[in-house]
Amino acid sequence: MRRRLFILGLLGGMAAAGPVQADGSLALVRRRGALRIGFDASLGPPYVFWNPQTRYYDGFEWELAQEIAGKLQVEARPVNAPWALHGDRLLRREVDVVINNRERGALGDTFGETVPYYRSTQRLLTRSDLAASVRGLPDLTGKRVGLIPKSGGAALAETYNQNRGNALRLFANVDLNRLLTQLRNRQLDALLLDEPLAVWHSGRDRQLTVVGQPLLPVDLVGLTHKDDDSLRQAVSNAIVRLREEGKLEAILRRWKLW
């Protein structure tokens, strides 16, 4: 089984925490009968995306959101909005929780954070014909590496270059499909991507494969308004229960992320 200890020992402590504070946020969600889940479907699979076959949302984070809502005994109500606007939506209370590839600690103490539901890493995606010769970043010295701007992979590659005299030839593009096409067409030698993206695309294209060790582990968390302590604690408790019941593992296994 691949290493994926995404819920650390701290979860047990969170599960044992006392009753939620009576700030009213959880009560409001229950009166409404729906938990408004913020996400950006344009991030694509396997996070949350529009499935044209089912004509509805899909992805491992959407499955998780539905299970969390079930634990709160309400429905999961999708709220699709640009990723950069999620913070504004929370501040204006247009969504209750954001579950969409948000790293723990990335936004400081501006918002409330749930316990982690997944530990992500950065992975190298390359062509299958290069798999034997590319096992890590040192093997890509002088090679062309594609990445998404402002991503974890971009930060890792830029730091690597600062310490090693621009060893990597970096090419950034917000269009992941364009990067994948360039990799297949030998215009790039590798991509440095979030693990869910690398695993998803390698599983659907025999030309592509994930190589090397996981890099830069980060925990993904849900975000709430900073004042919504009761809701944040309830969502955290739901994640802990899903882990203990094996449902979180089942979701991740379905998406090849365990």
* pLDDT tens-digit readout, 76-101: 999 999 999 999 999 999 999 999 99
Distance CA 199, CA 203 (A): 6
Sole residue written with tokens 């969504």: 95
What pTM was computed for the model? 0.87
**Would you state the pLDDT for residue 15?**
41
Q: Is 144 inside any structural domain?
A: yes
Q: Is 27 inside any structural domain?
A: yes
Nearest to 210 by CA among 187, 183, 186: 183
- For residue 140, the enclosing domain spans 120-217
User: Are 21 and 102 part of one and the same domain?
Assistant: yes
Percentage of the chain with pLDDT > 70? 91
User: Are 108 and 232 part of one and the same domain?
Assistant: yes
User: Are 28 and 99 part of one and the same domain?
Assistant: yes
Sole residue written with tokens 């590496």: 145
Residue 59 has pLDDT above 90, yes or no: yes
User: Are 173 and 85 part of one and the same domain?
Assistant: no
